[in-house]
Structure 1
Amino acid sequence: MNTPSELKYAASHEWLSPDGTVGISDFAQDQLGDVVYVELPEVGREVTAGDTIAVVESVKTASDIYAPASGTITAVNEELSGSPEKVNESPYENGWLFKMDVTEVGADLMDAEQYAETAE
């Protein structure tokens, strides 16, 4: 399982980069299976950590995505509308979901080592 050390992780398997980029972890995409659709939030939406903000659908199930921090959505990964499989192929690079201007990081975020222990 790939868990980049510079990211913070939620127990619900979202990751947050220092620049406010958000996606789902390698573990999460593996558990979901082949991603076939991604519903992304609206740019400009204000969210609170823990809010349901997006949906990732796979051949197995649909999974809610929760905001790992509070702030405002500043961008979404438009490439996912035509190529949702990027979430599986590259969850930390090309498969990111959205970017946000973070005002407050969720209190329960874990570092990579803590997350790896819980996701096993």
Structure 2
Amino acid sequence: MAMNDGEAATVVTSPCGAPSAAVALFRSLGDPARLAILRRLADGEARVTDLVACVGLAQSTVSAHLSCLRDCGLITSRPQGRATLHALAHPELLDLLASAEQLLAATGEAVDLCPTYGTHPAPAAAEEPAR
């Protein structure tokens, strides 16, 4: 939906009350490659070849992630000669990432140990020996 200056955005919520735009934002930030791309763009504009070298993925994969980030309005792209330079669209994103790092520092390993989303799920309970 296109908006004019001064027009308020309509917030659509899911059945449980979470704003669907927030869900989409966090999903876009939830992919490790997209997060790495955004972290690199926090240092300044970059070409696809710069990002490929940074994240170690194929050019087509990086381009697909850039397309997602651009569609979400998180990055901008501008041509420069034969290349395209990509940049963060909103400096507020850096504040969000910094806040996330502070929250992760405060929670310690709890998020990483989350059995649903963590990278190191808690071990399964030991089975009792059969009698």
Name the TM-score class by shorter chain: under 0.3
Q: Which protein has the bigger helix share? A: 2
Q: Could you state the TM-score of these two structures normalised by the residue count of structure 1?
A: 0.26
Normalization by structure 2: what TM-score? 0.25
Greater strand fraction, Structure 1 or Structure 2: 1
Structure of greater Rg: 2
